[in-house]
Structure 1
């Protein structure tokens, strides 16, 4: 067999395996990770199928069929997040602005020292609710003037990339940093008074990523358990943050189903957030979801800000005028 044919067959087999194996239930990082890149991988495998059909003489149909099969599987999995699928929720684009608040979330990248660039983006977006991850002491110090502009701010820096900052202009009834035993990846749970008689729960997540030597069990448990922790007396809830997971995975799908969360990406596009320098080749690690009575007026992925993640900004609405605090709670 000519070397070119051997290479095409081996590569086609690996492509097909990378598309199929993440469909099986496992927490092994090397199997779960290819599921992140299904969209760019689908385009790559489709292009390789054409190249194989043109350049390889022996066994080209088999090799090309494997690439086509891999591309097809990836696109089928991602299909709900294409603009050709049915949206899960309608955007409330004509909802009165006085009944809406904005929420911004981004992974600042702990080693990123271009603090001013990201802070400038936050100030430009001027969100009512702010959630930042990978905050260490250096970032906490740099953010101090910005956080002083918010009536409520909760800062929890860590040196292991799992520090958090939460800030709100909506009155905060309580806000906690909760951490499951042995995980060391705290999550933010806050109860906000959005209007005179409507409460909103905010859930901010940043679990561990699937990396060599670090399987997905802790991440999966963190995401799924957060879905069940919303307060039953609220009008609705908002979940944001760097999930270190893509929305079409079995874990984040379970999150949506457990908590009846709605994803505005469904039926509109994947809206990649990582890596920030190449969004056309990226994937959506940073999520925004809502449930209950909360409507989404708009949402967007913002421009690069110095981090390796792009920020997510949402404008979220209820059927009453939004209340904003004028001072820190006692």
Structure 2
């Protein structure tokens, strides 16, 4: 039991240290994801050390100190995404239909064939804009009926798990599919016209994750996110960035994205809204995101029901309020953040 507890404690501390190393290789970046899991296991390990470790007293104190420090550190990282954290996006007071936009983001899982389940979930959520990810030609044909209610579309179906389909009730202008970093990984960029006539810039992205069967480095993912951050920062119009970012809400890269873009995360101060993995409750992370400019307030954010995918859909209802940016503070990038962002964008 003592040997097990020593190994357990050492691994938990090691996993946290690995996540601190600023290396793009997947063996380091993978430890960004399970911070909630590491926190839970650290609490368990602390309990076991206190009540069941029977070895040397000095060793016991050192182990308890190390695991306690690790637990406090992890709590510090995840606390902003609980109801105890400060909200980055304020709740809207009074619903304004003409100034609101309801968005549904869903990674459908390309091999999933529950097309009817997907359509039913869209019907229940009743969004203005639907982004479907991991969509190939089979999925495009299966959800074609959406065009009866969603007249405006942008399609980039692909059979490599990076296809995307965008459907909108609201008018789209200057819509285009772009390949920002990789030739086979599309992103969608468009202006959306709210019922009030207000123009909003929408960026839909799905960069590749740092995993062995995709990219062994996070370089391409980080670069794409930071290129989109530049677009958002330079834009004079309200901005919304949506998609499966293949990165968790609390990672260093996501925080760097927020600092460089000037956008806000409506999750902060409200909850994790873990969207992946739908089939394994203990291994869930917030991978599907919506980031918004400070001139939006939140009506509602919600995780929807899975329909056979490995992701839960995420639903967001936001409201444009031109004075909101005087009440909401985006994160600020310092000189080190700017230097790091430039280095990441320059990598090949």
Counterpart in the other structure of 1:312: 314
Gapped regions of structure 1 (runs ≥ 5): 321-330
Deviates more, 1:263-272 or 1:188-197: 188-197
Give the Å deviation of 1:278: 4.4
C-alpha distance in structure 2 between counterparts of 1:277 and 1:123, whole Å: 23
Pairwise CA RMSD? 2.0
Structure 1 residue 19 corresponds to structure 2 residue 21: no
3-state SS of the aligned residue for 1:310? Answer: coil
Tell me the equivalent position of 2:286: 284
Is residue 2:12 matched to residue 1:10?
no
- CA displacement at 1:49 relative to structure 2: 1.6
Distance between the aligned counterparts of 1:245 and 1:86, measured in 2? Answer: 21
Aligned residue among 295, 298, 302 for 1:296:
298
Offset, 1:183: 5.0
> Does structure 1 residue 262 correspond to structure 2 residue 264?
yes
- Residues 32-88 of structure 1 deviation map (CA, whole Å, 9 limit, x = unaligned): 112111012201211122123222211333333333232222211122112112111
C-alpha distance in structure 2 between counterparts of 1:185 and 1:253, whole Å: 23
Deviations 1:270-314 (A, max 9, x none): 121111134565210011111042222111111222211111111
CA distance change for structure 1 residues 183 and 53 in 2, over 3 Å: closer, same or farther? farther
Displacement, 1:104? 0.5
Gaps of 5+ in 2: 323-348
For the residues of structure 2 that align with 1:270 and 1:111, how far apart are their CA atoms?
Answer: 26
| Inter-partner Cα distance in structure 2 for 1:45 and 1:176 | 46
In the alignment, which residue of structure 1 is the partner of 2:346? none
Q: 1:275 to 1:246 in 2, by over 3 A?
A: same
Q: Secondary structure at the match of 1:229?
A: helix
CA contact (8 A) 1:200 1:234 kept: no
Match in the other structure for 1:326 = none
Find the residue that maps to 2:266 and give its secondary structure: coil
The aligned residue for residue 30 of structure 1 is 27
**Structure 1: distance between partners of 2:87 and 2:149:** 36
Contact 2:154/2:188 (<8 A) preserved:
no
> C-alpha separation between the residues in 2 aligned to 1:45 and 1:153?
47
Counterparts of 2:78 and 2:135, CA distance in 1: 31
CA distance in 2 between counterparts of 1:273 and 1:60 reads: 38
Match of 1:71 in 2: 71
Deviations 1:147-193 (A, max 9, x none): 33211112211111000001111111121111124452211111112
Question: After alignment, is 226-235 or 211-220 more displaced?
Answer: 226-235
State the TM-score, normalized to the length of structure 2.
Answer: 0.85
Residue in 1 aligned with 2:112? 112
Show the 5 A alignment for 1:61-140. 61-140=61-140
Deviations 1:135-157 (A, max 9, x none): 01111111111233211112211
Give the conservation status (yes or no) of the 8 Å contact 1:102–1:127: yes
**Scaled by the length of structure 1, what TM-score is found?**
0.90
Q: Does 1:153 align with 2:150?
A: no
**Mean CA deviation greater in 149-158 or 223-232:** 223-232
User: In structure 2, the residue corresponding to 1:215 is in which secondary structure?
Assistant: coil
Contact 1:235 1:294 in 2 (8 A): no
| Deviation string, structure 1 residues 225-271 (Cα, Å, up to 9, x no partner) | 11112385653111111110011111111111111101111112212
- SS of match in other structure, 2:146: helix
Structure 1 contact 273–279 (Cα < 8 Å) conserved: no
Secondary structure class of the residue paired with 1:251: helix
1:172 equivalent to 2:172? Answer yes
For these two proteins, the number of residue pairs brought into alignment is: 317
Question: Which deviations, in whole Å up to 9, do the C-alpha atoms of 1:182-223 show, x marking residues without a partner?
Answer: 452211111112245521011111111121262100011011
